[in-house]
């Protein structure tokens, strides 16, 4: 399990770092402070992605209210109202990337999903990504500003990894969410699934409906009932099917099955059994 105290102790010698180019509109930094920190859209910082490794707080925006609890990534976008607060008296340790509004618009053209991400994304500590971050900052400090273009691939790689939009993922966010909805043992809520796949719940519903022509909640139920039908056709008992599909009890399974199909699981099983016998006679 992630231990934020251990990470802070291991990074106790870290110093605040800020580097970048105003003319190019790209920045990176590390900050560690016990002070209360507040940021709003009035600060006009462009697009900021913060990897928060210790500390707690809250984030409010048009997408909703979010609790900040390390480790996580917090995203602030230009031209949107938001309120970020990190609590006083805790070691707020975070790494961040910042780009100007014009560069953010270019990034959204490269990957439109960047503009739809939920503002707070759980993101466990990863030593390799931490080293990559430190390496990028060191190169930005050492290279002349006119040669920053040589670091663009490293900068983008880090940004997309931390936003969970890295092309290294084998499946898109929607495909991953769809696979989670298809797993009977998956007990996460739609909001939790959306967040893990990089969406706000409203954008997730909208994009899922557009991609698959069905809402995520309805897809989850109908896929599960489809599995139940196949199991009942194979002459498994109703209680066995309910257990296989991880329903809390037979009553819940029967009620949901009846709501979708218009008949109880026992009626469906009996009907399919009769159909199978007729087919055998023919």
Q: What are the tens digits of pLDDT across the range 249-279?
A: 999 999 999 999 999 999 998 888 756 655 5
Is residue 15 a part of any domain in this protein? Answer: yes
Asked whether the predicted pLDDT for residue 4 surpasses 50, the reply is no
Q: Are 193 and 81 found together in one domain?
A: no
- For 54-67, the pLDDT digits (tens) are 999 999 998 889 99
**115 and 180 both lie in a single domain:** no
195 assigned to some structural domain:
yes
- Same domain for 222 and 239? yes
* Phi and psi, residue 7, nearest 5°: -65, -45
Looking at the structure, do residues 149 and 89 belong to the same domain, yes or no?
yes
| Distance from chain centroid for Cα 173 | 8
Q: Say whether both 133 and 198 belong to one domain.
A: no
Q: What is the pLDDT at residue 35?
A: 83
- pLDDT score at 84: 94
DSSP state of 229: H
Are 92 and 207 within one domain? Answer: no
Residues 184 and 78 placed together within one structural domain of the fold: no
Confidence of residue 168 (pLDDT cuts 50, 70, 90): very low
- Whether the predicted pLDDT of 171 surpasses 70: no
pLDDT value at position 10?
A: 52
Does any domain span residue 271?
yes
Which phi and psi angles does 169 have, rounded to 5°? Answer: -65, 130
Q: How far apart are the first and last CA of the chain?
A: 61
Give tens-digit pLDDT for 143-159: 888 888 888 888 988 99
Q: Which residues pair with 177 in a beta bridge?
A: none
**Residue 282 banded pLDDT, cuts 50, 70, 90:** very low
In a domain, 262, yes or no: yes
**Is residue 41 situated within a structural domain?**
yes
- Assess whether 197 and 269 both reside in one domain: no
Could you tell me the residue range of the domain that residue 268 belongs to? Answer: 217-281
Residues 86 and 156 reside in one and the same domain: yes
pLDDT per position as a tens digit, 187-225: 889 988 888 887 888 888 988 998 889 999 999 999 999
Is 102 within the bounds of a domain?
yes
Q: How many domains are there within the chain?
A: 3
pLDDT in tens, 224-234: 999 999 999 88
How high is the pLDDT of residue 169? Answer: 46
Non-local CB neighbours of 196 within 8 Å, separated by 6+ positions? 122, 176, 177, 180, 188
Q: Are residues 207 and 246 in the same domain?
A: no
Residues 273 and 144 in one domain: no
Residues 25 and 125 in one domain: yes
What local confidence, expressed as pLDDT, does residue 170 receive?
40
User: Could you tell me if residue 238 is inside a domain?
Assistant: yes
Q: What is the pLDDT of residue 40?
A: 93
Which residues does 181 contact at the CB level (< 8 Å), separation at least 6? 193, 216, 219, 220, 223
The answer to whether residue 168 is domain-embedded is no
In the predicted model, what is the mean pLDDT of the chain? 86
């Amino acid at each position: 399990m992630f231990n934020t105290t251990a990470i802070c102790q291991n990074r106790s010698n870290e110093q605040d770092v800020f580097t970048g180019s105003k003319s190019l509109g790209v920045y990176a930094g590390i900050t560690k402070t016990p002070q209360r920190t507040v940021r709003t859209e009035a600060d006009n910082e462009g697009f900021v992605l913060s990897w928060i490794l210790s500390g707690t707080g809250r984030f409010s925006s048009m997408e909703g209210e979010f609790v900040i609890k390390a480790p996580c990534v917090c995203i602030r976008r230009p031209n949107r109202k938001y309120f970020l607060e990190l609590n006083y008296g805790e070691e707020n340790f975070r790494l961040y990337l910042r780009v100007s509004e014009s560069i953010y618009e270019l990034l959204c053209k490269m990957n439109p999903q960047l503009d739809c991400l939920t503002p707070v994304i759980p993101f466990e500590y990863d030593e390799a990504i931490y080293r990559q971050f430190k390496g990028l900052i060191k190169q930005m400090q050492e290279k002349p500003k006119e040669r920053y273009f040589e670091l663009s691939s490293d900068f983008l790689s880090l940004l997309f990894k931390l936003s969970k939009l890295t092309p290294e993922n084998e499946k898109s966010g929607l495909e991953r969410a769809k696979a989670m909805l298809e797993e009977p043992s998956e007990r996460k809520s739609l909001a939790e699934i959306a967040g893990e796949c990089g969406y706000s719940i409203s954008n997730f519903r909208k994009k899922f409906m557009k991609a698959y022509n069905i809402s995520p909640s309805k897809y989850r139920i109908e896929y599960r009932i489809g599995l139940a039908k196949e199991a009942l056709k194979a002459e498994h008992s109703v209680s066995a099917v309910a257990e296989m599909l991880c329903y809390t009890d037979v009553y819940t399974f029967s009620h949901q099955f009846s709501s979708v199909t218009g008949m109880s699981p026992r009626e469906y099983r009996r009907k399919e059994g009769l159909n199978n016998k007729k087919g055998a006679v023919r």
